[in-house]
Amino acid sequence: MAVIRYSEKVLEHFRNPKNIGLIENADGQSTVGSPACGDQVSMFLKVEEDRIADIKFLSYGCASNIATGSIITEMAKGKTLAEAKAITWKDAVDELGGLPPVKIHCSVLAIDGLRAAIQDYEEKTTGVKSERKVDEMAILDELKKVIYPKNGINIVDTNMIRYLSFEEGTIYIEVSLEETDVFKQNVLEEIYEHLEALPGVDKVEIKVVEY
């Protein structure tokens, strides 16, 4: 079995994570799970004058889950909500000095957690539930959260999505994957889990093509 190598900074944040814990009576909070591995992360926010005054997280996952939760909470603390929403998983990975390709999805999960906690705060304060209309752009954005473990790049930018349409509650996609690809099942399961969770989606039909 191949040994996964982590940067010094990942190991440092794993061994001594910052901002671990929960905030009682948080202004915004979330718990999100990764379809790729079943791990979870919870985020808690205190917001003052549109800025993240405090942020904590709880991890139910791997070393990268803990390290990305730690770095993202450090990056988000003190920022305005708009600035914090603009932090990407790539920013977090860069800040950590890189992550192995098979662990990139851990950073996607942590960013999802941060954005969901901000969304929770915004929904509570405005009383408006934000539900993005599902269209092909929204589907592509969701597919960009599926990371191809072989190269650590999402499956859209890896050019694996060859066809996409959304008709009457059903998403039809063609995914380019070799029959012998060891990550095939993992990628397909992740696509189903991401897309089936979108509002208004009843069914996802995936056709695997080898080109």
Q: Which residues are catalytic?
A: 37, 106
Q: Is 34 in the site for ligand FES (CB under 6 A)?
A: yes
Instruction: Fill in the amino acid letter for 172.
Output: Y
Q: Is 186 in the site for ligand FES (CB under 6 A)?
A: no
- CA 66 from chain centre, in angstroms, equals 14
Residue from 96, 109, 155, 160 that binds ligand FES (CB under 6 A)? Answer: 109
Q: Which is nearer to ligand FES, 19 or 107 (CB)?
A: 107
Q: Which is nearer to ligand FES, 10 or 156 (CB)?
A: 10
Q: Which is nearer to ligand FES, 112 or 142 (CB)?
A: 112
Q: Which is nearer to ligand FES, 161 or 186 (CB)?
A: 186
Q: Is 17 in the site for ligand FES (CB under 6 A)?
A: no
Place of tokens 């603390």: 77
Q: Is 107 in the site for ligand FES (CB under 6 A)?
A: no
What is the full DSSP assignment across 56-85?
A: EEEEES-HHHHHHHHHHHHHHTT-BHHHHH
- Alpha carbon dihedral 49, 25, 33, 82, in 10-degree steps, equals 0
- Binding to ligand FES (CB under 6 A) within 45-104 occurs at 61-62, 64-65, 103
Instruction: Fill in the amino acid letter for 108.
Output: V
CA distances for 127 relative to 119, 120, 123, 124, 130, angstroms = 11, 10, 5, 5, 9
Residues within the interface to ligand FES (CB under 6 A): 34, 37, 39, 61-62, 64-65, 103, 106, 109
